[in-house]
Amino acid sequence: MFRPRRKIFRCFARWAIGFFLCSAIAWLFGFLVFAQKIPDRVQKSKKKTDAIVVLTGGSLRLEAGLELLAQKYAKKLFVSGVHRGVDVRQLLRIARKSPLSVECCISLGYDADNTEGNARETAVWLTKEKFETIRLVTASYHMPRSLAEFRSVMRDIEITPHPVFPKSFKTKNWWLWPGSTGLIMEEYNKYLLAVFRRALMGSILY
């Protein structure tokens, strides 16, 4: 009487274990591919863009963006994800830069609180400014997901990545550093969620 149930249970258990193992292998393979996409250097390019876009989250990002602006790599600098109440002069003081030389060329975005929000906020600003090319500045480990989010909402915009490299993150031999490995894993999982979200939204829209 119980044999059919046991047989069903065993089949289900085997299927569940097989599914789990296949999922784990697929996740690990994707993770390694994702890790390879993390840049370990800035691609040297003197190409100018309409704007420089900095995603908040580290002082190196803002410093790099301001330096690129000072070197006239773009007409304007847009900083996305700024805390409300912070103005351009305060931001420049944090970066230890003189406001006189670049204050007129900086715009701030206050609406974004995640990478998806950064992309949408920037897309609105670019449309308003009628810009078609940007240089995107963010941390190296954050760049793959940022590019995916940005390209999903601004397919007609040409994006030049400009990664910065925080000292706390080890790009080379990252697997030897638990902190760097954990950060890449976190970014990869967020990347997967972003992919699934876009796929779901696409299925709803179409």
Sheet holding 133-139, edge to edge: 106-109, 74-80, 49-55, 133-139, 158-164
User: What is the pTM (predicted TM-score) of this model?
Assistant: 0.85
Q: What pLDDT, on a 0 to 100 scale, did the predictor assign at position 206?
A: 33
Q: What token pair was written down for 117?
A: 């929000």
The average confidence (pLDDT) of the chain is 88
Q: Where are the domains of the chain?
A: 49-164
pLDDT at position 94 over 80: no
- The phi-psi region of residue 187 (left if phi > 0; otherwise alpha if psi is between -120 and 50; otherwise beta) is alpha
- Residue 1, pLDDT > 60, answer no
The residue that leads in pLDDT, 177 or 197, is 177
- Kindly report the CATH number that applies to the domain delimited by 49-164: 3.40.50.620
